[in-house]
């Protein structure tokens, strides 16, 4: 039954829990005809300041921590009525004015008794909104700290009082759901118009946008380092269950406590919805299902937690195995690298050795090629011939020629003697070792092929030919007499040969050179 229309309403007091959205309701009314409360004339105090003073004077508890037993109505003494009168005088020029004040919960009876022209708009909202208010509820709170109990008690106490007052004085109150008003203000204005005659301007009523109402969401952190994450949307209360409570009896008890508190809140909310003049059109909050769903959630989270633990164990085990395998692979890789490096080093050494061998072979070839030539040059005949050639260009050389030749001959013989001694000692050492013949020895054919030409060349040299002539003729006294002629003959033949070689056309019918017998150097 609609209460009778009151023609004497001049002010509206909007009362609601701080998280109920009463500020938005006030804004809505202010934008549609209601004037904002002016300060009192003498004291220049706003109604909220007056409430604050009275609450301070009568020592009311803080609104955010108040419990059921704490919400007692204040009965200010008569002396305070003057302050109210002053406020009335200050707002006397306004036809309809009002304000929103959560602290008026302590003064509901006072205002109701004092002024029959007061209409109370009692505002409530879903319990979950409590946790979305960043001023009331911290971003993250721990169920073990008792904060949830405090919030529940506070919300339940405040809204119980609102409900009680509304039921006791239905003619003076309008119990409304703030979200529903914002969703459809027209219904709200109709209700106001039906109750009292106020200059409400409901033209162009627009539905105000309501922010996303995020319900309390509950996350339980899984006891895994890999998946633990504490990211969440800002300014939204996040109920985090400490990991150490998961899977314990205490956890279940704590969780059940949270569910109990949720059920109590839901019960009060249901009663508000059942009584309100403008209830929310949303689905009703389940009460007992919360406990059941919570238990299912807890059981599910326990199962998930166990499952995650098993997966984690398996993952850790797998990780260990892989790590071991990786280590083995690394070791193998290192070994392979080492082997590769060794192979490379051996390859390089091999190359170097090959190069050395080639070089040595070349040297040996060169050596053997020129060895014969060298041996030839070491022969007495060549040496004597060299001395002859060297000393024939000067008179002193010619005069000392015999002495030089004798000295060279003595030197040659002395060297021969030493070589023989060295060779005999080497032979003795070799017999002791009795190693096989060197595999790197040059082929005889290669030696002869390389050195024959060199030998031939040397034998064509004047020094050698003169030396041969000396050695040949020095064996006998007749030879000594023939020696100068023999020497001169060799010189002439040498020159002719050289001319022939330079210009073959001049000596096309030359005789073949005499065959010379190689005199043994060892004589």
Partner 1 sequence: MSNNSAIFDWLDHLRELMPVSHLVLIGAGAGTGTWVSYLRSRNYKGVTLVEADHCQFRHLQRESSHHPEWHARLQLIAPKNGPTVFYEAGLSSESGILKPEVLRQLWANLKIGGQRTLEALTLEGLLAEFSFSVNWLVIDCLPALAILASAGASLEGVQIIVARVVFDELADCNEMAHLGPLQESLTNLHFRFLTVDRCRNPGIGYALFVRDSRSVIRQMGDQLTRSSQEVVHLKAELAELKFRDKQQSSEAASIEAQVDFLKEALMQNRKT
Shortest distance (Å) from residue 266 CB to partner 1? 9
| 120 bridge partner residues | 13, 173
Shortest distance (Å) from residue 294 CB to partner 1? 9
For the beta sheet containing 173-177, the strands, ordered from the edge strand earlier in sequence to the opposite edge, are: 35-36, 97-100, 11-16, 118-124, 173-177
Q: What angle do CA 257, 153, 64 make, to 5 degrees?
A: 130
270 vs 461 by CB, closer to partner 1: 270
160 vs 221 by CB, closer to partner 1: 160
Cα dist from 348 to 82, 345, 359, whole Å:
111, 5, 16
Sequence-distant (≥ 6) Cβ neighbours of residue 416 within 8 angstroms: 522
Shortest distance (Å) from residue 18 CB to partner 1? 21
- Name which of 42, 216, 186 is nearest 126 in CA terms: 216
Q: Which residues of the shown chain bind partner 1 in the complex (CB under 8 A)?
A: 68-69, 160, 163-164, 167-168, 256, 259-260, 263-264, 267, 270-271, 273-277, 279, 284, 287-289, 291-292, 295
- Name which of 296, 288, 292 is nearest 267 in CA terms: 288
Shortest distance (Å) from residue 201 CB to partner 1? 28
224 vs 275 by CB, closer to partner 1: 275
Can you spell out the DSSP letters for 282-351?
SPPPPSHHHHHHHHHHHHHHHHHHHHHHHHHHHHHHHHHHHHHHHHHHHHHHHHHHHHHHHHHHHHHHHH
Shortest distance (Å) from residue 280 CB to partner 1? 10
80 vs 106 by CB, closer to partner 1: 106
69 vs 77 by CB, closer to partner 1: 69
Cα dist from 303 to 210, 229, 247, 299, whole Å:
38, 19, 9, 6
74 vs 272 by CB, closer to partner 1: 272
Shortest distance (Å) from residue 47 CB to partner 1? 27
Sequence-distant (≥ 6) Cβ neighbours of residue 175 within 8 angstroms: 122, 124, 162, 163, 166, 272, 275, 276, 277, 278
Radius of gyration of the chain (CA): 63
127 vs 279 by CB, closer to partner 1: 279
Shortest distance (Å) from residue 43 CB to partner 1? 36
Residue bearing tokens 């030359």: 510
293 vs 408 by CB, closer to partner 1: 293
**226, 309 contact by CB (below 8 A):** no
Shortest distance (Å) from residue 259 CB to partner 1? 7
299 vs 331 by CB, closer to partner 1: 299
Buried b (16+ CB within 10 A) or exposed e, 252-276: bebbebbbebbbbbbebbeebbebb
Secondary structure of residue 57 in the 3-state scheme: helix
Residue bearing tokens 């009965």: 75
164 vs 342 by CB, closer to partner 1: 164
Shortest distance (Å) from residue 127 CB to partner 1? 13
Shortest distance (Å) from residue 104 CB to partner 1? 19
Q: Per the structure block, which two tokens stand in for 326? A: 């990786």
2 vs 140 by CB, closer to partner 1: 2
Shortest distance (Å) from residue 258 CB to partner 1? 12
Buried b (16+ CB within 10 A) or exposed e, 365-396: bebbbbbbbeebbebbbbbbbbbbeebeeeee
């Amino acid at each position: 039954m609609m209460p009778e229309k009151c023609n004497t309403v001049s002010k509206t007091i909007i009362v609601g829990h701080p998280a109920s959205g009463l500020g938005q309701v006030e804004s809505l009314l202010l934008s549609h005809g209601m004037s904002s409360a002016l300060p009192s004339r003498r004291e220049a105090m706003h109604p909220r300041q007056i409430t604050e003073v009275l609450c301070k004077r009568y020592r009311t508890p803080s609104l955010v921590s108040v419990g059921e037993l704490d919400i007692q109505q204040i009965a200010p003494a008569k002396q305070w009525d003057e302050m109210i009168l002053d406020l009335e005088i200050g707002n006397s020029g306004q036809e309809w004015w009002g304000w929103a004040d959560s602290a008026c919960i302590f003064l509901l009876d006072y205002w109701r008794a004092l002024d029959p022209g007061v209409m109370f708009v009692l505002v409530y909202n879903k319990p979950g909104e409590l946790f979305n208010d960043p001023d009331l509820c911290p971003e993250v709170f721990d169920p073990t700290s008792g904060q949830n109990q405090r919030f529940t008690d506070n919300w339940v106490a405040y809204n119980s009082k609102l409900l009680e007052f509304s039921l006791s004085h239905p003619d003076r109150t309008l119990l409304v759901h703030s979200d529903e008003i914002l969703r459809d203000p027209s219904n709200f204005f109709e209700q106001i118009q039906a109750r009292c005659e106020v200059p409400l301007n409901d033209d162009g009523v627009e539905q105000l946008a309501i922010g996303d109402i995020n319900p309390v969401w509950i996350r339980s952190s899984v006891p895994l380092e890999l998946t633990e994450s504490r990211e969440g949307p800002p300014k939204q209360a996040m109920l985090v269950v400490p990991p150490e409570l998961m899977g314990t009896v205490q956890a279940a008890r704590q969780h059940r406590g949270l569910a109990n508190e949720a059920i109590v809140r839901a019960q009060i909310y249901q009663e508000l919805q059942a009584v309100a003049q403008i209830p929310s059109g949303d689905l009703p909050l389940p009460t007992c299902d919360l406990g059941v769903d919570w238990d299912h959630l807890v059981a599910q989270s326990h199962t998930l937690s166990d499952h995650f633990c098993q997966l984690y164990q398996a993952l850790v085990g797998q990780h260990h195995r892989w790590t071991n395998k990786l280590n083995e692979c690394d070791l193998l890789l290192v070994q392979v690298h080492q082997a590769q490096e060794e192979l490379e080093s051996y390859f390089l050494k091999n190359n170097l050795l090959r190069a050395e061998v080639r070089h040595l072979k070349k040297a040996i070839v060169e050596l053997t090629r020129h060895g014969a030539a060298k041996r030839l040059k070491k022969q007495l005949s060549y040496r004597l011939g060299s001395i002859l050639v060297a000393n024939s260009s000067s008179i002193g050389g010619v005069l000392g020629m015999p002495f030089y030749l004798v000295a060279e001959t003595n030197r040659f013989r002395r060297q021969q003697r030493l070589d023989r001694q060295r060779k005999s000692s080497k032979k003795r050492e070799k017999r002791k070792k009795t190693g096989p013949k060197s595999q790197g020895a040059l082929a005889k054919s290669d030696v002869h092929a390389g050195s024959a030409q060199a030998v031939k060349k040397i034998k064509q040299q004047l020094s050698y030919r003169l030396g041969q002539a000396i050695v040949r003729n020095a064996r006998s006294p007749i030879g000594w007499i023939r020696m100068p002629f023999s020497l001169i003959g060799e010189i002439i033949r040498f020159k002719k040969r050289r001319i022939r070689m330079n210009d073959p056309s001049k000596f096309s019918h030359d005789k073949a050179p005499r065959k010379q017998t190689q005199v043994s150097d060892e004589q």
